[in-house]
């Protein structure tokens, strides 16, 4: 079976490469064709258009950044949309709003297609290592079709029930991630401005009960002032916005998240949108320098 993969970005590229290297026959497309070169070298077929991907496959994975990009690829709202999705399983792995995902599922199912939500927890490094965690929602039979295809990408898949519960689960997980990494970064700033030995600060945290894979990776990046992207500021800001919107719709308070939203917005305004999320330290430093 050939599988389509559309969206070869920061996350999509390592995910698709792991699938191709595991022997899955991929047909891929990306708006910037240069991003498909590594996949072509790994044996994937590079399609000329998104429609070519659909014509050659029965399962199509979408790892796209926005509602608009998904609608464009699917030609949603046009006469071509039912032809593209009919009889096919669309696996939506990007982070979009739960409301959008629910509406997309309705449209695909009305066109006699199948829809699976499959957002993932993890950044580029876990994606490269095949250590992501996927949250799945949709028709159980469609999920079982998709699950084996995700084995090269994910160390675990978790069934979340009906659409859009997988995306709601992803937003809940990301709320913890964003506030945790922001708190870690602020603690690093506190230690640095008190002239503590930062290697010992890192050692204490690594040895203690708060240590995690995330804290170890992000502390190393802070210590080395390495802002090479794993989870970018722009993407974190988008996730933060989606979580806040979901909280408002449910009439939930989100005080920590709201503070983070302001900080990541300030970081983006500093021109660091494509830097890793630990670059939020620059916004924290700017606040310190303004008040000192």
pLDDT tens across 219-258, in order?
999 999 999 998 899 999 999 999 999 999 999 999 999 9
Q: How far apart are CA 33 and CA 28, in angstroms?
A: 10
Q: How far apart are CA 269 and CA 272, in angstroms?
A: 7
pLDDT tens for residues 57-90?
999 999 998 999 999 999 999 999 999 999 999 9
Mean residue pLDDT of the chain comes to 96
Per DSSP, the residues of 7-58 read --STTHHHHHHHHHHTT-EEEEE-SSGGGGHHHHHTTPEEPSSHHHHHHH-S
Cβ contacts of residue 220 below 8 Å, gap of 6+? 202, 226
Q: How far apart are CA 78 and CA 150, in angstroms?
A: 30
What pLDDT shows up at residue 75?
Answer: 97
Residue whose pair of structure tokens reads 């399983």 in the numeric block? 89
**How many percent of the chain have pLDDT more than 70?**
100
Q: How far apart are CA 114 and CA 156, in angstroms?
A: 22
DSSP, collapsed to helix, strand or coil, labels residue 175 as: helix
- The model carries a pTM of 0.93
pLDDT tens for residues 90-120?
999 999 999 999 999 999 999 999 999 999 9
Is 1 a residue whose pLDDT tops 90? no
Q: Which two tokens stand for residue 281?
A: 């330290």
Q: Which two tokens stand for residue 237?
A: 């800001």
pLDDT tens for residues 253-263?
999 999 999 99
Is 292 a residue whose pLDDT tops 80? no
Is 42 a residue whose pLDDT tops 80? yes
Q: What does the radius of gyration of the chain's CA atoms come to, in whole angstroms?
A: 20
């Amino acid at each position: 079976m050939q599988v389509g993969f559309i969206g070869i970005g920061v996350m999509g590229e390592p995910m698709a490469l792991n699938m191709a290297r595991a022997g899955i026959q991929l047909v891929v497309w990306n708006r910037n064709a240069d991003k498909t070169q590594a996949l072509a070298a790994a044996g994937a077929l590079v399609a000329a258009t998104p429609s070519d991907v659909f014509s050659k496959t029965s399962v199509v994975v979408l790892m796209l950044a926005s509602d608009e990009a998904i609608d464009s690829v699917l030609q949603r709202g046009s006469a071509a949309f039912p032809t593209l999705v009919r009889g096919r399983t669309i696996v939506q792995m990007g982070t979009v709003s739960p409301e959008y995902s629910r509406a997309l599922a309705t449209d695909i199912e009305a066109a006699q297609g199948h829809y699976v939500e499959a957002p993932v927890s993890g950044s580029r490094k876990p994606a490269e290592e095949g250590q992501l965690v996927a949250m799945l929602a949709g028709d159980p039979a469609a999920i079982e079709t998709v699950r084996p295809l995700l084995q090269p990408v994910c160390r675990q898949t978790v069934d979340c029930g009906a659409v859009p519960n997988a995306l709601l689960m992803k937003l809940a997980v990301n709320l913890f991630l964003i506030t945790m990494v922001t708190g870690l970064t602020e603690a690093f700033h506190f230690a640095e401005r008190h002239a503590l030995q930062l290697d010992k600060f890192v050692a204490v945290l690594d040895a203690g009960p708060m240590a995690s894979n995330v804290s170890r990776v992000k502390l190393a990046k802070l210590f080395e002032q390495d802002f090479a992207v794993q989870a970018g500021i722009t993407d974190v800001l988008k996730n933060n916005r989606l979580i806040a919107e979901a909280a408002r719709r449910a009439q939930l308070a989100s005080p920590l998240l709201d503070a983070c939203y302001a900080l990541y917005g300030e970081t983006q305004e500093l021109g660091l949108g494509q830097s890793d999320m630990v670059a939020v330290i620059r916004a924290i430093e700017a606040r310190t320098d303004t008040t000192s």
